[in-house]
Structure 1
């Protein structure tokens, strides 16, 4: 075997694998279960949670002229004997919470 052929083949393989990894990472999303677990972890820092939910499909969302694919969900908890409900919006690609609203 010729060393030049081996080096060219190895370089082509490495470049191809990097390109595939980049394409996959751009199209991948965080699972909704993982997003909900992270949101619950944050809310638990301020008290117990009574219930939670999340939509399993990502939907389009726009905030300040920026377009996202997001998961929408909610958390219910007791705050000094009063039931409070929160709805959240989380980026489907990163899992980052974009918005939280108190519902009544």
Structure 2
């Protein structure tokens, strides 16, 4: 086997890997933060419609007494009984479990 043929094979494999990786990324464009936001929105929708939502895409450190973890911070707004309600939450970045919920 010539070195030239070997290098051509390696480059072809790398190019194919990049194409497959991009195709998989397009099939599931949601990031972990978006999955967490979707789960929180679904929980709120059980009580009624929501008006807006947001999430910070970068996890941040969170400590609550003995627990330390990375969390996504976000918020939900809804109108209930004619009044605007706003909530902010922190959700574990690995499990999506809400570890803090504050009504503003």
Instruction: Structure 2: state its 5+ residue gaps.
Output: 1-30
In 2, the alpha carbon distance for the partners of 1:66 and 1:37 equals 24
Match of 1:56 in 2: 57
Aligned length: 74
Whole-angstrom distance in 2 between the partners of 1:80 and 1:44: 15
TM-score (norm 2): 0.69
Q: By how many angstroms is 1:65 displaced?
A: 2.0
- Determine the structure 1 residue equivalent to 2:100: 99
1:80 corresponds to which residue? 81
Q: Pairwise mapping of residues 1-104 of structure 1 onto structure 2 (< 5 A)? A: 31-103=32-104
Structure 1 consecutive aligned stretches of length 4 or more whose deviation exceeds 4 Å: none
RMSD: 1.0
TM-score, normalisation: structure 1: 0.69
Task: For residue 87 of structure 1, report the CA deviation from its aligned partner.
Answer: 0.2
Aligned-pair CA distance for 1:66: 1.2
